[in-house]
Amino acid sequence: MNECFPSHVGMLVHSFFNAMIPSQLLLNGYEFDSFSQKWVKLDNGQDNGGLAEIGINDEVLFEVEKIHECAGLISIEGKLLG
């Protein structure tokens, strides 16, 4: 991941394609922490298979929902996988 905002997270896929996950498609149970600029799990440390925090330089798995093309540039929109 190379961007982390309240509205979305941005990623670079295979060092070539831009991708983003809108905040409504991030896993339920995460909340954006504006102090740390990360998405943080709200389950009080209980591990249910997901990451405790999601932030810049983290690697995540996601499912492609849409592919956009504009002037020959491709971007990907998806949802976070647990």
Q: What is the pLDDT of residues 33-70, one digit of tens each?
A: 999 999 998 775 555 556 688 899 999 889 999 999 99
**pTM listed for this prediction:** 0.76
Output b/e per residue, 37-66; b: 16+ Cβ within 10 A.
ebbbbeeeeeeeebbeebeeeeebebeeee
Rounded to the nearest integer, the mean pLDDT of the chain is: 85
Query: With 90 as the cut, is the pLDDT of residue 11 above it?
Result: yes
CATH 2.60.120.280 fits 3-80, yes or no: no
Q: Where are the domains of the chain?
A: 3-80
44 residue type, one letter? N
Could you tell me the CA-to-CA distances from 28 to 12, 16, 25 in Å, in that order?
Answer: 23, 28, 8
